[in-house]
Structure 1
Amino acid sequence: IILQRFDSVTPQEFAFGEQMLKDDGIDDETMHEKMDDIIRLFDGVMEREHLELPEGHPIRSFMEENQIILGTIAEMKELLAGKFIKNRWLEVYDRLKEYIKHITRKHNQLFPYLEQKGFDRPTLIMWTFDDHVKKAILRSARYLDMDKEEAFLKMQPEVIEKIEDIIFKETQVLYPTSMELLSEEEFRKMRIGEEEVGFANMEAPKGFLPPEKTERSSGGEPSFMKDFSALLSKYHMGAGTDTEMDVAIGKLTLAQINLIYRHLPIDLTFVDENDIVKFYTDTPVRVFSRSAGVIGRKVQNCHPREILPVVNRILDSFKSGEKDTVEFFINKPGKQIFVNYIAVRDENGVYRGCLETMQDVEHIRSLGNKPQSAPVWTGS
């Protein structure tokens, strides 16, 4: 064994080492449990980088959101030192729940680009830390809503610690590494889908959009429409988005197909036979936030680690032919979400992917149809 002394370590080197530990057989659970100890080992030698970025750059927006939420953390510490006033805590938790947008945007926008570089270990580990932050915020918010003052106050040091910890990890490792691995063009592409998820406690920034997005916002034809038009022209199939195409039954233009998807009262997501997310509907009634960054991403990387066994079980049952559908309900405050996973097979019965549908059926339930509350596995 050759030991070598390092006077300093860059965030990129630290993240690369984290990735290499995966290749050496260190599993994700062990890495998650020991991550704080590992970071402490590098205290004093980890180089710190000050990033000067233009308005609208995704990393700058992440950092600005963190500064805002750190102000909220300071307010929480002051409130803990005084008498309990519920209304003030409700205001604080409105901001903390907004911070979940920061986490969601990071998962949907930033992580996919890093994973495309083969850099999946740090994102998987950080996803677990992020989930702990979300759960702590939401559990604490429920205590507050239910007037469980003692349980609520007891939880606040944990909420504060978890948020400060994730901000530290983002600042020290995630952002500098992202700047090293990703190009300006990739950040500009990432910028396109950010408004779809939204920003945490701040207005949407201006600028740092790619040219095609600016063109679209000023009334120009979206770039994907232009690409499609060019493809149709190449094969002499017509002028573009207004050209009628033969579908299974009937004829539709691309513009009509997109309009139909956008007006469905249900979320659709399609994952192909290789577990790659290929499509989701752009509807105003979306149950869970997502953005275009999930397209082309392994579906396993779009879910928290603790539910991966369920995701893989469903997909494996489809691929083996054991199941054709899996359906269940998710209960949320004021909502009851009906989820249906459907195996997509071609005319020869070959598995070609999975279609996921989601719909808030609370309104339907109010009309007299009371759905079951337990998951139901069905198959043919």
Structure 2
Amino acid sequence: MENMRKYLSDIDEDKLKVVMRVKNAYSEGRMSLEDAKKELKEKVKTLRPYEIAIAEQDHREFEDEICRKEDIQQMMELFEDIMDDSQPDLPVDHPIMCYYRENNAFRKVLKEIEDLVQYPVIKNQWYEIYDKLACYRTHLQRKQMQLYSMLEKKGFDRPTTTMWLLDDFIRDEISDVRRLLDEDKDEEFISKQQMIIDDILDLMSKEESILYPTSLAMISPEEFEEMKSGDREIGFALIDVQNSENKSSKPVQQASDAASGGDSLSFAQDLAKLLSRHGYQSDDNKILDVATGKLTLEQINLIYKHMPVDLAYVDENELVKFYTDTNHRVFPRSKNVIGRDVKNCHPKTSVHIVEEIIEKFRSGKESFTEFWINKPDLFIYICYVAVRDENGKFKGVLEMMQDCTHIRSLTDSRTLLTWEAANADADYGADGNSGKNKEENNKEKGEENMSGNGKDIKLELGTKLSDLLLAYPWLKDELPKINSKFELLNSPLARVMIPKATIEMMADRGDMKVEDLINAIQAKIDEKK
């Protein structure tokens, strides 16, 4: 494990010991705030945020839930006279600035809660707020997959892995409180709002006072630039992010295909380097002997890109070495997980399961285990297979994951070839849109109206999204261009949303007037005619 001091300079060990001694004495009630602040001002004088991070990393043993229990506002009051916690001046698309911008956007949502909580419950108003809060999951996922992994590689692992517990705690807390609204438990629902506000603000304070400044001190500008592609792949919450290098570029939500293509190229380059170390040429057209055939590097990359299931491989050293970069991935990943200890890719609450799987596989006691997530209108299947060489030596773990919702819905038998628009949800194409493939098939059949039969679809409040996509399969790609919130149509949740959604529901979720949405959809249809 790297030592984070390697990436920081001018560390005063004596000062850090004073900081931790005073901080612990104050938090345990053995020193008053006035005395603690006085001693810090006399003996410490100035304190940089990352110095607190180093003190926490080296001079304190973490308990699993200490990050959640600690009163961050109380700690910031302790250090307010000696530490600068102002927001940095960074480009709007800088990864750290995106976190700050998201926090600012969510503070506005929390303000909406404070304003609305004093009135009788009107469900639609609260659903609108909790739809926004649900986006907080994206903020947390990007932080866990991107920022934590980068910091852990540099030796800053204790605070990040502990903060992961708090991330997941708040994520689940938001879901649990929303469920009270679904169950018509209005009084209990309202009573939980202050808790939601306090906990999210507390997490933001932890991020902004320690995590982000420490990241800026430890991560180089070049590494932040590399981080941007993974950030775009996972997505952003309540903000639009444009590439500062290209002023005319589309918002990130509309540029996911380009980002995906960039990651595909990155994967090909990484694989080429790996092959070259074993004596193979890196030419994409070089024929390679694989286990049961001969393939070029380009073909290998394309096969993984179109794989109908998600695969990930962890080697015998418990390092993440590979995952398939498909458009239909069940859960988000980023290239920053490559080379990372697999235990650091999971919250502490589930690390023991990971360790047990690896231990049983390594010992030879077990070679397979499976899990599944069964929710209304969603079924995710996950299995783990021990990878062994021809001599039976343990070489790692292969994970396979698949959204089996559609498969479980199949009945009877099908033995004849049938092209159905329903299969447009299975985004196995390189462009993530099998609907386009269907449109191309229509052209081959010589159909005259490539945009569907618009006469059969009347755009009104109750028009179903499934009917729209049946008539106009290409519309699935166009809807996010009308409203970025429709990007969910390109996620596994599409199978849940599409059968239920109407134009009225879409307008409500997209904060649009129904007539504006209808006009925008009609304009897209007219463009195709």
**TM-score calculated relative to the size of structure 2:** 0.63
Cα displacement (A) at 1:346 = 0.8
8 Å contact from structure 1 (residues 105, 197) kept in 2: yes
2: CA distance between counterparts of 1:354 and 1:163?
Answer: 36
1: CA distance between counterparts of 2:205 and 2:276?
Answer: 51
> Which of 391, 397, 401 is the aligned partner of 1:358?
401
SS, match of residue 227 in structure 2: helix
SS, match of residue 296 in structure 1: coil
Cα displacement (A) at 1:252 = 1.3
The one-letter code of the counterpart of 1:203 is D
**TM-score calculated relative to the size of structure 1:** 0.86
Query: What residue is the counterpart of 1:316 in the other structure?
Result: 359
Q: Does 1:277 align with 2:320?
A: yes
Query: What residue is the counterpart of 2:338 in the other structure?
Result: 295
2: CA distance between counterparts of 1:342 and 1:226?
Answer: 27
1: CA distance between counterparts of 2:378 and 2:300?
Answer: 28
The one-letter code of the counterpart of 1:316 is E
Query: What residue is the counterpart of 1:8 in the other structure?
Result: 46
SS, match of residue 379 in structure 2: strand
The one-letter code of the counterpart of 1:185 is E
SS, match of residue 382 in structure 2: strand
SS, match of residue 222 in structure 1: helix
Query: What residue is the counterpart of 2:501 in the other structure?
Result: none
8 Å contact from structure 1 (residues 49, 176) kept in 2: no
Query: What residue is the counterpart of 2:202 in the other structure?
Result: 165
Cα displacement (A) at 1:368 = 4.5
Cα displacement (A) at 1:151 = 2.9
2: CA distance between counterparts of 1:136 and 1:230?
Answer: 44
The one-letter code of the counterpart of 1:13 is E
Cα displacement (A) at 1:195 = 1.5
SS, match of residue 193 in structure 1: helix
Query: What residue is the counterpart of 2:69 in the other structure?
Result: 33
The one-letter code of the counterpart of 1:312 is E
Query: What residue is the counterpart of 1:61 in the other structure?
Result: 98
1: CA distance between counterparts of 2:400 and 2:82?
Answer: 49
Distance of aligned partners of 1:65 and 1:26 in 2 relative to their CA distance in 1, 3 Å threshold: closer
Distance of aligned partners of 1:29 and 1:359 in 2 relative to their CA distance in 1, 3 Å threshold: same
Distance of aligned partners of 1:231 and 1:44 in 2 relative to their CA distance in 1, 3 Å threshold: closer
Cα displacement (A) at 1:41 = 4.3
Distance of aligned partners of 1:317 and 1:165 in 2 relative to their CA distance in 1, 3 Å threshold: same
Distance of aligned partners of 1:270 and 1:35 in 2 relative to their CA distance in 1, 3 Å threshold: farther
Distance of aligned partners of 1:279 and 1:170 in 2 relative to their CA distance in 1, 3 Å threshold: same
Query: What residue is the counterpart of 2:170 in the other structure?
Result: 133
Distance of aligned partners of 1:76 and 1:280 in 2 relative to their CA distance in 1, 3 Å threshold: same
The one-letter code of the counterpart of 1:206 is N
> Which of 193, 215, 218 is the aligned partner of 1:181?
218
Q: Does 1:118 align with 2:161?
A: no
1: CA distance between counterparts of 2:339 and 2:273?
Answer: 22
Query: What residue is the counterpart of 2:515 in the other structure?
Result: none
Cα displacement (A) at 1:152 = 2.0
8 Å contact from structure 2 (residues 272, 297) kept in 1: no
The one-letter code of the counterpart of 1:251 is K
SS, match of residue 223 in structure 2: helix
Q: Does 1:331 align with 2:374?
A: yes
Distance of aligned partners of 1:239 and 1:268 in 2 relative to their CA distance in 1, 3 Å threshold: closer
SS, match of residue 115 in structure 2: helix
Q: Does 1:241 align with 2:284?
A: yes
Which whole-Å deviations, capped at 9, do the CAs of 1:56-89 have from their partners, x for residues lacking one? 1100111111111110110011010112111111
SS, match of residue 190 in structure 1: helix
In the alignment of these two chains, the number of paired residues is 361
1: CA distance between counterparts of 2:188 and 2:85?
Answer: 38
The one-letter code of the counterpart of 1:99 is Y
Give structure 2 stretches of 5+ with no counterpart: 1-13, 19-38, 247-257, 413-529
Cα displacement (A) at 1:121 = 0.9
Distance of aligned partners of 1:161 and 1:333 in 2 relative to their CA distance in 1, 3 Å threshold: farther
SS, match of residue 328 in structure 2: coil
Q: 1:188-267 alignment to 2 at 5 Å?
A: 188-207=225-244, 222=265, 225=268, 240-267=283-310
Which whole-Å deviations, capped at 9, do the CAs of 1:259-280 have from their partners, x for residues lacking one? 2112222111111111111111
2: CA distance between counterparts of 1:335 and 1:167?
Answer: 31
Distance of aligned partners of 1:238 and 1:183 in 2 relative to their CA distance in 1, 3 Å threshold: closer
8 Å contact from structure 1 (residues 101, 197) kept in 2: yes
Cα displacement (A) at 1:165 = 0.7
Cα displacement (A) at 1:30 = 4.4
2: CA distance between counterparts of 1:247 and 1:257?
Answer: 10
The one-letter code of the counterpart of 1:109 is Q
1: CA distance between counterparts of 2:161 and 2:273?
Answer: 38
The one-letter code of the counterpart of 1:67 is N
Query: What residue is the counterpart of 1:94 in the other structure?
Result: 131
Q: Does 1:306 align with 2:349?
A: yes
Q: Does 1:47 align with 2:90?
A: no
SS, match of residue 102 in structure 1: helix
8 Å contact from structure 1 (residues 18, 122) kept in 2: yes
Distance of aligned partners of 1:132 and 1:235 in 2 relative to their CA distance in 1, 3 Å threshold: closer
Which whole-Å deviations, capped at 9, do the CAs of 1:157-186 have from their partners, x for residues lacking one? 111111111111111111111111111011
The one-letter code of the counterpart of 2:286 is T
Cα displacement (A) at 1:44 = 4.2
Q: Does 1:154 align with 2:191?
A: yes
Question: What percentage of residue pairs aligned between the two structures are identical?
Answer: 44
Name which one, 1 or 2, has greater alpha-carbon Rg.
2
